[in-house]
Structure 1
Amino acid sequence: MLQLCQVTNALFISNARSACSEQLLQQEAVTLCINVSKQQPFPSGGVAKLQIPVYDDPSEDLYSHFDRCADAIQKEAGRGGRSVVYCKNGRSRSATICIAYLMKHRGLTLADAIQRVKTARHVIDPNPGFLSQLQRYEAVLKARRGRS
């Protein structure tokens, strides 16, 4: 079944098959596609595209992309657009990016952010390497907030 799972008003998570469905993208008024993979295709329609070329491997560095992705989602939402974040199965890489966004721009804790994304898409399961990168990110965000 093709579907985009809604995390917030302006953010969806899905697998590559669903994210490449022109019909679904139009139906949900998606304006930005963030493809967190090296091999998955992009939809062909006129949506903005951002590619994060990582494999679903615990040793991959997804951390260095957290701010850029979170800010892109936020910027898109700010101008009335909607984003979909996807990887091959919509389980590990895309979930990690959605969680990072919720922590940075919605102020959620890591545990709450995971729960929020899990509620939208129950199959999510960030790999152990990505989880530890999210833990590091949570600490960095806390420190940044303490300074501001």
Structure 2
Amino acid sequence: MLLNKVSKILDNLYLTNMKGAQNIDEIKKKGIKHILNISFKPNYLKDNETLSLSYTNLRVEDLYYSNLIESFEEFYELIEKTRNENNGILVHCQAGCSRSATVVLAYLMKKNNLTKQEALDYVRSIRPLVGPNHSFFQQLEMWFQMDYMLDTKGNDTNSQQFLFLIQIDQINKQLKEIKEEYEKKTEKDPNVIFGSLSKIVQICTNPILGLISEYQKDKLITLFDNQDPRVLEAMNNFEKSFIEIGLFKNSNLYRENDFIKNTIPNFLKLIEN
């Protein structure tokens, strides 16, 4: 099966799925010494003493709000170091198509100064089923636009703006899909209302790239202002804790709106536009 194949992307750089990452014969044959696991699955060969493997893990789901971009530089350095030591590194996720492929694409882009599409075309020539989700593809574009110098500490205004624009785009797509589905229902029974509300709550309580903003609440009210009053009431009752400023792991403090106005005016400009 193609998905299980341990695909050679470059010398000492391989891409596969979960089953491929358990293929002891292939790992030995290809001289793989490090495995980069981009999933919630365990490191199955960690205790196999005959392989002398080291592991790096990033527990992230293949979802629209998942953040990979903050790890691009770290993984670039890891892959580069392993290859320079003439050891093989294997990158995998569950299917070897989206999360792990995104990390490999980010490496190729920086290493060879490629666009995301150029990198994708190259990898697909080797592993045709590769396909990052839309959010990961946008993160790769931002990686390219920022000349592979994304400020992962959130101090650079341009980085923050890019992150926020990506978030807005993802929120809009998801909410419009819910609205269209909701409007197709001729009878607004309780199950339909509950289903729509559940999806809304999921979108508005899951940070996209680590940032939740007041924009989500305002956009929801705009989209659903003519719908069932119970849905609107639920959206008007969002807690203050859903307003979060903090782009990455180390910036998860909750702030009031005045903090946004006084400290990060660029966010307000983006919202108003």
TM-score of the two chains, using structure 1 as the length reference: 0.91
Structure 2 Cα separation of the partners of residues 104 and 93 of structure 1 = 17
Where does the alignment leave 5 or more consecutive residues of structure 1 unmatched?
none
Q: How does 1:57-76 map to 2 (within 5 A)?
A: 57-76=63-82
Question: Structure 1 residue 118 and structure 2 residue 124: aligned?
Answer: yes
Higher relative contact order (CA 8 A, sep 6+): 1
* Structure richer in strand, relative to its length: 1
Partner SS, residue 125 of structure 1 = coil
Structure 2 residue aligned with 1:21: 23
Cα shift at 1:143: 6.8
How far is 1:4 from its partner? 0.5
Query: Is residue 32 of structure 1 aligned with residue 34 of structure 2?
Result: yes
- Alignment-derived partner of residue 113 in structure 2: 107
Any conservation in 2 of the 1:21–1:43 contact (CA below 8 Å)? no
Superposed displacement of residue 101, structure 1 = 0.4
Alpha-carbon distance, 1:110 to partner: 1.4
Equivalences, count: 144
Partner letter of residue 13 of structure 1? L
Aligned residues of 1:11 and 1:84 also touching (Cα < 8 A): yes
5+ residue gaps, structure 2? 151-273
Which of 39, 48, 53 aligns to 2:54? It is 48
Runs of 4+ in 1 over 3 A off after TM superposition: none
Q: Whole-Å Cα distance in 1 between the matches of residues 112 and 22 of structure 2?
A: 27
For the 8 Å contact 1:29–1:82, the answer to whether it is kept is yes
Coordinate RMSD, CA, aligned: 1.6
Maintained 8 Å contact 2:62/2:133? yes
Relative to the length of structure 2, the TM-score reads 0.50
| Alpha-carbon distance, 1:108 to partner | 1.8
2:109 and 2:136 mapped to 1: Cα distance? Answer: 14
1:36/1:72 Cα in 2 relative to 1: closer, same or farther (>3 Å)?
same
Greater helix proportion: 2
Identity %: 24
Q: Does the aligned pair in 1 maintain the 2:14–2:89 contact within 8 Å?
A: yes
Return the index of the structure with the highest Cα Rg. Answer: 2
Q: Deviations over 1:80-110 (max 9, x none)?
A: 1111100001010011000000011222221
Look up the match of 2:96.
Answer: 90
Cα deviation 1:7-42 (Å, max 9, x = unaligned)? 101211000111111111001111110000012434
Aligned-residue offset at 1:119? 1.3
